Amino acid sequence: MILTAKMVDFYMAKSLVYSNIFRVKAPLIMYKGGINYKLIAKARHFIRTTFTKTNLQYKIQSIFIELAQNILLYSEEHNLLKDTESVGTIVLDEQEEAYLLITGNVMKSETVETLKNHCNHINSLDRTGLFHFKAELAQKTASPTSKGGGLGLLQVALLSGNKIQVVTEKINDEYTYLGFCAKVYKDHN
């Protein structure tokens, strides 16, 4: 089955932005489309100019880059009109007590289960356990062909100080829409 933009947009709207878990209230950035390094750089610049040079700015910027790179590297949806760039959703939302960094993209269903298990493991660890797991993963991902081996999501958990929220919506047997949300509290920085 071929994915159409209409199918993916339906799942994005149903699963991600309007999810009870990811309830968007005051988006500073809300983008759905082709993701490339130029777009990531523009969003990073927006974050740097919106937030003063603080630990909060560093965390938001670093988490944003990790999550956006996941779309760039792993999205199964591509903009064929623009050098097959990866397609996904990026949201930076301001809430009363925290900022939410939300991303979503289409992935192979078989990969999604592995990622969900990885996130569940990350979410089960305390801060010390996260650092130990990071050292363990760093040893395993020394391969030159590795794309990171799960270090990015682990880094998101370490930077945010919170569990990574995951939402999935099966599109068909082959593809699933996967959304991540990292919460960064305003006053914990």
pLDDT digits (tens, 9 = 90+) for 152-165: 999 999 999 999 99
What is the structure's pLDDT at 13?
Answer: 46
| List of the chain residues with pLDDT < 50 | 1-15, 17-18
Residue 2: closest CA among 55, 76, 96: 76
What is the structure's pLDDT at 27?
Answer: 81
Domain with 56 in it: what CATH number?
Answer: 3.30.565.10
Distance CA 21, CA 39 (A): 26
Q: Which two tokens stand for residue 105?
A: 């993209």
Strand 85-94 relative to strand 98-108: parallel, antiparallel, unpaired? antiparallel
Q: Residue 131 is part of which domain span?
A: 5-188
What is the structure's pLDDT at 33?
Answer: 87
Count the Cβ atoms, other than its own, within 10 Å of residue 77. Answer: 20
The DSSP code sequence of 81-138 is TTTTEEEEEEEEEE-SSEEEEEEEEEEEHHHHHHHHHHHHHHHH--HHHHHHHHHHHH
Given a contact cutoff of 8 angstroms between Cβ atoms, the answer to whether 99 and 93 are in contact is yes
pTM for this predicted structure: 0.83
Amino acid at 65: I
What is the structure's pLDDT at 9?
Answer: 47
Domain count, the chain: 1
